Structure 1
Amino acid sequence: MTATLTRADVASAASQKRRRRAPGWLAVVPLLAFTAVAFGLPAVAMLNGAFTVKDPSSGVSSYTASNLSDSLQGPYLTALVGSVKLSALSALIAAVLGLLLAQAVVSSRSRALREAVLTASGVLANFGGVPLAFAFVATLGNAGVLTTHLHLTDHGWNLYSFWGLVLVYLYFLIPLMVLTITPALDGLRTQWREAARNNGATGVQYWRFVALPVLAPSLLGGLVLLFGSAFAAYATAAAMVGSAVPLVTLQIADAISGNVLVGQENVALALSLDMVLVAGLVMAVYLPLQRRSARWLDA
C-alpha cells in the first residue's frame, strides 16, 4: 500500500510539474510569433528576391545566382569594400580612444565624473542619423562655424570625404566603446596589479602581460561590435556625403529607388544578403569572445 501511494504521489507530482511548465511555454509563444513575423518573413523575402531574376520581355521569374555575382562586381564590390574599410578603420580608432577614456574614468576617484561620462556615452552612442549629419555640417561643413573661424578649408579640410565620415562615425562609436569596455575594466582585480608590482613589474609590463591579455576578449568583442555598428549605418552617410563616398548601404538605397539596370531590380536584395552574411560573421566572432571575457572577469 505504501509503495502504491508512493507511485501515486510521484505521478501526481510529475503532473503538477507539467502543469506548472505549461504557462511558461505559452508565454514564449507571442515572442516566437513576433520574431517569426518581424524577422522571419523579411528574411525569407530577402532570400527569395536575392536569388530571383525576372525576364524583362516575358515577365517570367526564375531562380539564379546572378544577382549575388553582380553584387560582388563593379561599383557594388567597390561600395562593399569601401564600407568594410570605413567600418574597420572607424572601429579601430574608436576602440583605442574609447579604451583610454574608459580607463581614465574607471581610475578616477570622482564618482560624479564617472556617472557623467557614462550617462553622456549612453546618449551619444544612440545619437546618429540626419541630426548628427546636420550638426557636423553646421559645425565643420564648408560653411560651418569652426571651418569659417579656423579657416580649415585653406588647410585642405573637407567634411564630405572618407576621413570626414570617419570623424562623424567616431562621434557615436567612441561612447559605444566606453560603455562596452568599462565593465571589463571594472573587473580587473586590484590584487593583480599589486602582485605584479610586488614582483617588480612596471606599469607597462602589468598592462602588457596581465591586463591586456585578460581584456583581450572584451577588446576584440568591442571592436567587432563597433565594426557592425559602423557597417550598418546609413542615414548619417546618406545625408552628409551622398554618393561621394561609395558605401554598400547607399548602393542598396539607389537600387531600391529604381536606379538600376532593367532586370537587376533584385540586386538590392543581394546586397542586403551580403550585409547579412558580413554581420553574421561579425556576430559569430563577437559572441564567443564575450562569453570568454565573462568567464575571466567573473571568476
Structure 2
Amino acid sequence: MGKLGVSQKHHVKKHTVKRLPTPTCSKALLVNNLIEHTKKEGTSKAFSFGCYKGVLLNNAVKGAGLLALEALIMSLLTVSKSGLFNYTDLKEAVKECSNQFPVLSDRGMSLDRWAGWVASRILVVMAHLRRVKNSKVRMRQAQSSLTEKEKEQLEQLARLVQDLPYKGTSTSTLGTESMAESDVGLDFEALACSPVPAKKAANKKKMAKAKAKALAIEEACSEGSSGHSSTEPAAEGEGCSKIYLTKAKGRTYLQVLEGGKKKHLVCINEKQSKSHFKIMNKIKSTMEEMGKLDQGTAVSLRDALLA
C-alpha cells in the first residue's frame, strides 16, 4: 500500500526476443552471383531444387536436399551472411538472371510466376539452413539419413551462416533450442519482408478469432480437374471445382471440393498469415493470376499467401 491507502502496482518489464527487419543486401551483387552460378552450373541445374521443389517452410529439414544445393547456397551466403533475403529482391534478381538466360523461364508459365516460385524456394532453403544451424536437435534429424562424410559437410555448411543479433534477451541466455524456435520469426520476416510489432500482432490475432465464423467463404473456379500432380507451379489452364477456407482442430486449411468430396490440400499457418481477410484477398488475387487451381499448384498458392 502506498500513500493515502492507494495500492501501488509494480510493472515488471517483460524481456522478449524482438524480430529485426530483413537485412539489406547489394542487389547488384545478388544478380551477379546468380548469373555466375548459372554459368557455372548450367541452365538445367542452376535452379533445379530437387526435393526442395515441394518442401514447405514448416516441413522437416532435408539434409541431402541442402547438400545438393550447396553451390546455390554458397553463392547466396556471399551476398547475405545471415541467409536472410527480401522476397522482392530475390524475385527481381531471378528475373534479371533469366534475361541473361531466357531458357531458364521456358517452363510453360510467365516469367513473373516462375521468378516468384524460385524466390520462394530459396527462402525455404535458407530458412532450413538457419534452422539446423541454430538447433542441435534439428541438425541430428536432418543428418539421420546421411553418411558420416555428408554429416560433416552439412555441419560445415551450416557454420557458414552468421547469427543475426537479437534485441531484448541476449542470445547467450536463449539456449540452442530457444534460438531454433525464435528462428520461425526470422523465417516469417524473410517472407513478409517486414517485422510485426507485438501489439499489432496481438490485435490482429483477436480480430482473427472474432471473425473465425466467417472463414467458410466459397470461391467458384472453373469445372473439372486436370489431375496435375507436380509440386511445381502448374501451367495456366488447369483447374478444379470449388475452393474453401475452413478450420479443423485449431488449424486453417485450404480445401478443394472435387466430385462432392473435400480434400485437405494445404494447412495455412495463421500466425504467419497476419489476418484472415488478407488470406482471402491473397487467395482471390492468386486465383485470378493463375486462372485455375489444381492440386499441383497448392504449394505455389501457399507460397503466394505468405509472400
TMscore range, shorter length: under 0.3
Query: Which is higher, the Rg of structure 1 or of structure 2?
Result: 1
**Greater length-normalized contact order (CA 8 Å, ≥ 6 residues apart):** 1
Q: Give the number of the structure whose residues are more often helix, by fraction.
A: 1
Superposition TM-score, scaled by structure 2 size: 0.27
Higher strand share: 2
TM-score by length of 1: 0.27
